[in-house]
Structure 1
Amino acid sequence: MNEIDDKFYYVYSSALDHKVEIKIGTLEGKRAKPEYDKLLSDPMLKFSGLYQDGCSDLYVTCQVLCDGVPLALPVTTSYKAFSNRWNWNEWITLPVCYSDLPRNAILAMSIYDCAGPGKVMVVGGTTISLFGKHGMLRQGMFDLRVWPGVEGTEKTPGKAPDRGKEQMQRLAKLAKKHRNGHMPKVDWLDRLTFREIEMINEKEKRSSNYMYLMIEFPTVQIDGISHAVVYYEQDGDEMFQFRAQGEVVTVPDYEIMQENLVESKQHRLARSVRGLAPARDAKPSASERDRLSALIAAPAAPLSADDQDLIWKYRFYLSSHRRALTKFLECVNWNRPGEVRQALSMMKQWSPMDVEDALELLTPKFTHPAVRKYAISRLKQAPDEDLLLYLLQLVQALKYENFQEIHQEYARVCGDAGASSGDNALLASVSASEMSSSVTSHQSEDTDTHSPADGDTSNPASENEQEMEEQSLAHFLISRACVNTVVANYLYWYLLIECEASETGREDARDMYLAVMKTFSHRLARVAKKASLFKSALMPCKLTFLTSEGSEYEAIFKHGDDLRQDQLILQMITLMDKLLRRENLDLKLTPYKVLATSSKHGFVEFVESVTVAEALASEGSIQNFLRRHNPCEGAPYGIRPEAMDTYVRSCAGYCVITYLLGSLDLGDEEAVHYLQNLLDLSVTAVMAALVEQFHKFAQYWRK
């Protein structure tokens, strides 16, 4: 019998830079087959490992966890074919060192089985802590209870006792004491005792409803002596002092974010009217001039108080610099009326700024109406090509305008009572000078803006006063769009996008964009009261539209006809007329316009006419009709020669064109007779018959 050794041999876990190893032994117990209803819901279970003869091909995955968080990737046992029992007897190495293990690290093991192509089934899971309750790394073999149907987590402890079967746990603790040398060792008695312990364990395992996984932890031996691995964290026992409360004491400051009276007084004295006379003749020094040049050339950024005072001091000197106006307006305190009056007066005397620089005045930094209207007056000088470059930004700048003014303008233009008067007022603002200025080049603009440098300081002021009209940004955009279809097209889609984008934003911004869109649509609207339908099989509709000049334009909308053939014929007639005009032969042809919007509908220009039947009924003959509307006493037949010439040339021209297109092959007398037959309805019946004839040829070509 060996004596009990009272010495305790141990090593620190922080000193072991080796990977964690674990041996997966055997799995004992019977797997419960699934219920019949689960087999009906998933027939593939019949081909899984549960119904396999003998032991199915199971595998085990091991992973180290800490507070439910994995510390490393899982490791899986290699494939092994089993016959009568699940026996792996495989040492696996985990990708984590002993020195990196925390105190509460656990080893989670999950058992899987094949459940079909690319599918796995969880057989069960179990866990065990790597360190015991005294902080020593576990060594030796352990029988862990497997929780069926779940993966190994903190909720599946492998050492949980089974009710009525605590003998197995008690014998495991005694075997641990014997292994650690806390019991005397007798060889012959130990062999008998351990054989009896194995029989008791096997009996309890067979009588239990759980499966048991046997694992083995390695033992640490140094010079043939077993050592225990004690958890130790280097420098983990050092004490760090910290304060429960912060050293910073919060003291309320009632003057914070308040106005500085000294700086405010100095600011008012510097911006007062008393300093107006000295500032007119103030000239900066060389250093101040360089500083002003750097401030003007710098990109948009907040100015310091010293920079603002410097720009205000030499504002008269900077008035000839176009790019300095934006910096000057940033120096103004718009909450003080006296300072605002000086700034607005100075803005009128300033050299007109470039159109590109005026865009900054429409940002949210500048909310004063006079400043924004000045920016709009400068935008009037931009041609339409340049306006398209920043049209999107101008549409987005509408959200910084006065919403009340936009709604008032919409009510004035689109209101029931004053709709017509509002249209006249808006249309009158689009003058001929504005239309000509939209195509003015930058070269002429630069020439005009440089004229004040010659010494005449009154021209810029008078020019700005003339340009600064009471016009909002929305009014300006709509006015420019009404004189250019390209601008109108882009403006429409930009407004539509902003209306849709504002649905998730501010409600007032969405209402504002809707008001601008309705105002713009009203400017390009149609007169619904004058719409009518023609007596025809397809019942084409005559629509009346309002042009940008306030006049009406009538068109016919046809649905059911392919107007692309009409377009082809009219293009050929227009081309013939153009070629004949080059040869000084004007046949007085006036073909109407056709726009095919699809293969089934399109627009046709409406031409006001009088039918031959009406002319004959009222006048008796075509000569009398022409004599009444175009009288001339000294001319033949009493008809103005220009009217007779136009009538004869047009009739002859249409006959010639009909002949050239191959619609008819007639002589002169037959052509005149055929022409009289075509004129039974209206003066424009020739074109209708020609188009109909071409339709017949087109149908023949398709066949």
Structure 2
Amino acid sequence: MEPFSFATSNQLEYPVSIRIINLEGAEAPLPFSYLEEHPELRHIGSNQSPHSDLYVTVQVWAGSKPLTVPVQTAYKSFRTERRWNEWLTLPITYSTLPQNSRLAITLWDLSPTGGPDAQGHAIPFGGTTLPLFDKDNQLNKGRQKCHVYRHRRADGNDDTKTPAILPKKRAKKGAPEDVEADELERMEKLFKKHEMGEIPRVDWLDQLVFRGFERRGLQSATSPALRAAQLQRTAQSSSSKGVNDTNGVPEPSSFLLNVELPKFDFPVVFADHEYVPPPVSSLQPSITQSNVILKPPPEVQFGPGINAMDDDDGYGGRLIRVYDPEVAARDNPAESKHRRLVRSQHRNGILDKDLKPNSKVRDELNQITSYSPTHTLSPEEKDLIWKFRHHLTRNKKALTKFAKSVNWQDQSESRQAVQILGKWTDIDVDDALELLGPSFDNAALRAFAVERLRKADDNELLLYLLQLVQALKYEHISPQSNHEATQDSSLARFLISRAANSFTLGNYFWWYVMVECDDKSQDQGPDNRAIYGKIAYDFMAELVKQPDGVATRKTLLRQGEWICILSKISGEIKESNESIARRTERVKHFLADPKNELVTIDPPLPLPLDPSVEITGVVPEETVVFKSSLHPIKVTFKTTTGRKYPIIFKTGDDLRQDQLVIQIITLMDDLLQKENLDLKLSPYKILATSTSAGLSQFVHSMSFQAITSKYRNNPALAYLKQNNPDSHGPMGLRKETLDTFVKSCAGYCVITYILGVGDRHLDNLLLAPDGHFFHADFGYILGRDPKPFAPAMKLSKEMVDCMGGSNSEYYRQFKQYCFLAYSALRKNSNLILNLFSLMVDANIPDIKLEPDKAALKVKERFHLELSEEEAIRHLERIMDDNLNALVPVVIDKLHELVQAFRA
């Protein structure tokens, strides 16, 4: 099939235009006796001369209504024929035309006495209506012959009585064929094809044909039979205004108006502009309602009496369901009035300060304050919290529940709440983070949370810095350039101040902000990028005010240049079609080139991935290009301490999800350390430098897949024994190495279960020579997994065999470490849930799928509705089911076969 090209009308930003060429045809003059009987026809121009002066008006109509004002031709004096040859441009473009658009073309004669449809001294000579789109919805183009209806204005209606193109009538049986008329019609079609370029042009032959056709047309027009028919039609039109009594449609006269429409290179097909659907609700959610999802439209139901619902459903025939999409989005007026009455100062004034709950109410308050951050308070619970607000100021866990109970849009209530905040006892960091989330937009409340964060040291603040940078999206920061970014944001002022005084904080703060400035996705609009751009500018302005701020600013700029150099070679390697060996040689040559300033880095540059490490140069010979689709590059750098620091640089992948998981693992490790539980976790560092590039620390290790391919029996134990042999140790292995393996397995099993890490196979389970076990590649989290029937926890047979089997003492220790870690992390569930709540708008792939359910999915893994003992038993069942399941083994084998096939 040959390719067919066309354009759509909604993309044609070109004004509608038409060329009025000439008027063909003639009619017999009216007899003088007839003019004597009708003196009003005596002074009409066309009755005085066959070439009297006429002018033409054109107007666009659609839906039986005019779309534009009429446009008319200039005055022209005719002598031998009525020829205008003038282009008219109408005030409308093709892109806005409806499908039923048509041109109402009227020729106007002059008469001092007026007449029907007269406009001043102008009366209709005749009219015709030309559709702009044909029956195939294609735009008409080129020359058109339009039938003129004498003494009629072009009506332009959808059911027009003055159609320019008449439907072809079938000849009646026995009627004589009009051979001359058929031949003229055939020639007209051929002329049009010639004009559109569908027939090859031969100039000398074309001129002969044109002259012969003109002579033939003149002879046909002046033949006695035709003139007699024209005279008869003219007499009928003068007496009955040309109306056919049978169907009310006027008969066309012998006049034809030749017009020309613009010609385009391709057919233009009608296509309507696709308007955005109207909003389901006019409600504009505020920051506090950013997570509110309007109810979806219901299924269409017929009204009462028309297929009404049966009484079996519990609804009578007279019941009508009303769809309200704003349920749970707007306040219920009755509830709002009830709340105002309950909380009014007249009924709950000064006495509220002395109110104390009885034992039953105290139990209810304790139950409310123990709710998780994702729990929604009922109106009754909110009223109870408000009633005993003064009593609860001594309970630090009650502040977030109090903040949820306040109607911050009510000025009086908001003013009272702000006064009480000053009396509240110090709150924990997890509650402060919750107050900085998208659910609270009161500036005083957010400032109160920031004051709590001021008491955290730099190391603690670094654990939450990624989320705090995201919390800036919920601050009142204007994207306009004439406002300071930190003018109305206590959080922005706090972060900029702390980042300017600590190079480590400033390093990570700078790169987190830079990634937000680089995010050009639809989910992050230009206002968001403008806000982070202003924050970056204010940070640099604050930095240069510090004693060594100018040097720090230069260091950050040098880091950016260093990233650009690595991005250049990484992008070239990813796009090239060379072998791995050839790619590796190209990278080595690039790194060793002195022009790229990587062989020697002077002064030493703090590594963006880990600012505590300062690099002095690259080691080109240790460069490796990996075989994966994106071909990440392993680059080794020399440091000021004399040690080597290998990193992996990757282009073409968004590392923000992996960065988030590593940050949460680091935080959980810190929480476990505070519980005196060191599980030997070793989360490698990772940093996204843009939305499509980033760095990660390279840890010397082997995947379980590679280990099982190298060793046959008990591969993990054989690998560890080779690197840490001890004939006196357990199973011929150093005891410290086996302890490290057992503890790290327990830590990662629990953490990956809580985070719902998916796509676990032996290729992303890694084991370091010293016994540290860890996971890599966090492309699936929160329960997502590309494989069906994937286990909730990845506990492979190779891991258990290395511990001595499921009945060994070390496996029992492993389970005990899992239970201790799970219990410790459940105690800190609020902090972890709040961190995920702050990331709902961070454009993390697996959070973006269902942002309102991200924290809920983590909460499900904690099983907060169970007691500690029940939760531990539940975790043990998961571990036992996974250990005895066949599906994980099958998945690992299938993955091994797929990887072998790809290789």
| TM-score (norm. length: structure 1) | 0.33
Larger CA Rg, structure 1 vs 2: 1
| TM-score (norm. length: structure 2) | 0.26
